[in-house]
Structure 1
């Protein structure tokens, strides 16, 4: 493999928005505009999916159908975002926990707050990467991981108690 191609693949795997242009944004925008409102509109069904099997079926929720709709919407959103920025894994792991601590457990509120937190994490990570580590270019996924690890460890220790 060409060393330059290997370096670009490594940067993409660790998550980077370094070479992102407006064309990339326009490619992701339709997925966000179409799928995010569907998930938010069905957010009350996400709350019902937290119930046990008997209760959910008893209130008339078609659990398998709803899970499939949510799964397809989430796969569409994640694949569109990963195609542009690569794998920035800690956002999907930490942002929902932060959103639940801020607004509670109702998905009507968790979904937009989670998106805003994820957006802020990318912006802060990119800002830190471009200012502190300049002139070197460090993938934003690595910076976000370093920032979020203390919160992740806190969540792990909190669960054990």
Structure 2
């Protein structure tokens, strides 16, 4: 398997886990927080998708799906349009609410498709390209993609845990 195949498989696993976590969950549980300081399934899935959209589109030199395909308008969140959830306060995290899981899944699937289109064209040499010089050492494309995969898997695992906790109440 080449590097493109590895990344496609990793992002595919994230998509599967997002669908398993969100499908069939009513809005009350999607938006519920186990306590005031915890994140909801909606926030966790929105955040992991926003970070993937932001980071991969930046590396690919494309527009974010969030703005280019009108997802920010569909979500209509009381947050700045460029918000990804990074550094959110409890109140900001609590403001991420959805009417159905279809909205979360639609956005995630659109980002997933754009991500796959990008990673399918990669080879091992492309992964050495520096995409962020603000860190020491500078961040390469390979490191950025691994970071997104790791972050997404952690957050979808948290979302699945929250779903389980809330479903047992």
Which TM-score tier does this pair reach, normalised by the shorter chain? Answer: 0.3 to 0.5
Superposition TM-score, scaled by structure 1 size: 0.34
Greater helix percent: which structure? 1
1 or 2 for the larger relative contact order (CA 8 Å, sep ≥6)? 2
Q: Which has the larger radius of gyration?
A: 1
